[in-house]
Amino acid sequence: MTDVVVLSDDHGNPIGTAEKATVHTANTPLHLAFSCYVQNPDGQLLITRRALSKRTWPGVWTNSACGHLAPGETAAEAVIRWVPHELGIPAIDAPECILPDFRYRAVDSSGIVEWEICPVFRAQIPTATINPTPDEVDSYHWVEPGDLFAAIDATPFAFSPWMVEQLGHQKLRDALVS
């Protein structure tokens, strides 16, 4: 879908691109990304277990989908382009940006760094049926928001660091239960 990531200055301004296959290292540059939480008609949240072939945090439980912006693309456009591909769902429209200024830096156990300006979105889909791309998602589960919040609070080490940090924002928790 896109084989480059958009590099960013500290203010979120694009300053170039780098090949996606080479950007995640021990010295990962700041780049543009997004996170998305998908909800089904019953209000349940989709959590996914990252594919075991992922370079960073393989096999870790995380939010529904994450991705990178393509050159010239907004975060909302990236969500609309990438989430259906990753999750094997019909097109989504009008994802809601809950945390527009979210950013994080985290280092996984192998020393690989994730460093992203990463707006956080919520998207609703009309069904709980998905067919995820195996290179992206190992497995998935639909959960009640309150159950996920309790699990994150009790065992943050069991989840991706960005999801733990995102769900530390009351604004996101409130949006996911409304």
Binding residues for Mn(2+): 24, 31, 68, 114, 116
Q: Work out the number of other CB atoms within 10 angstroms of the CB of residue 49.
A: 16
Residue-wise burial string across 133-170, b where 16 or more C-beta atoms lie within 10 A, e elsewhere: eeebbbebeeeebeebbebbeeeeeebbbbbbbbbeee
Catalytic-labelled residue, pool 36, 73, 116, 136: 116
How far apart CA 116 and CA 134 sit, in angstroms, is: 24
Helix axes 145-154, 170-177, angle to 10 degrees: 150
Catalytic-labelled residue, pool 66, 118, 136, 165: 66
Angle at 14 between CA 21 and CA 20, to 5 degrees: 5
Annotated binding site for Mg(2+): 86
73 is catalytic: no
Helix (H) or strand (E) holding 50: strand 45-50
CB–CB of 104/165 below 8 Å? Answer: yes
66 is catalytic: yes
Active-site residues: which are they? 66, 116
